[in-house]
Structure 1
Amino acid sequence: MPTVPSTQHPDPRQSVPLYRIFDLQIFDHWYTTTSEYEKKDQYVHQGVAAYIFPTQVTNTTPLFLFWLEEAGDHFITAERSEMEAWLHAHRENNRVRYSGILGYVFKDSSSGGVPFYKLYNANRNNHLYTACEAERKHARESGYRDDGPIGWVYPGSCSEPPSVVQMDDVNLHPGASPT
């Protein structure tokens, strides 16, 4: 008898917060699923970017996390081919460090998630990931290139005005606090 794909959606209560931290010193957004990261004066906790799964569940794909040392930038992809291309292109000069699987996101919108967008600012060598449409719009208006969704997630906190995405100055939204 052939296997029938499951139409059940994963329980959102199985998801975990994906925190976004902003490093004021090197102008870098970085992401973690633990609230127990090393606290430094230059770090600004920007809240929950999204909710993702700590283990693979129905219709999810891994988020691969990289540290681009030379650029001072964290990079996330859900595409295995993109991950392999980055590793291959930079394997000899050690400019890219693969940090592992950050968590799992939905492959498409059929599971009830919202798009998790990847944006990039070449002037700042900074990737920004957001599930917030207002923040996405503001980032594009501030010089970020919109690379579209890398997956679908359960939304995190989204408030106005959007968080740190200015090209030339750092504006913290209300509620952002140095940690």
Structure 2
Amino acid sequence: MSIETVVLSKDQLDMLMPLIVEQQHDCGKEVDLDTTRTFFEGLVGHEATFQIVAVEDGVAVGLAMVDPIPNLQFADNVAYIHDVYVTEALRGSRGIGPLLVASSFVEAMRRGYEFAEGETEPDNSPARKLYARLAAKLGVGFKEVDSMRYLLDLRPAIERAHSEPEYLDRLATPRLLSRLSARP
């Protein structure tokens, strides 16, 4: 069984809904499936906004949302990666969260974003370390803006992709990410 990541399309919404129900219940919210589906139908398929889904055997097991955010310093070239969620049964065991985040960075670069931001809780040290390790592995700049927000400069990886067309395809693969957890 292997995990693959895909950019969510409208024909995959039925696959995503059980994961969204689980995520909302984890947050203590009740889910209105019609409203939730309508919300995602309005998001899916736009150039600037996208969703990365981790899929195993046709079942959605993880999700990361990416939206453009205004940033006075960088104009509109910032992709905001948020609401990263992995189904509870697989959380922490297979590297799905890192795969979702790395895939989000790669797709952001493909769509022309030069910067990406991520955010986590101040006491979430595994997530904080993940952003730093991913930046190093992807060859992009990394800056902790405050205790919870991170800014990644994607331009070095974009430049490398110009000279190595297969570079972006190699990123965000389970092989790359399995090396992330290896201690130097």
Structure number having the greater strand percentage: 1
Q: Which one has more relative contact order, counting CA pairs under 8 Å at least 6 apart?
A: 1
Normalization by structure 1: what TM-score?
0.24
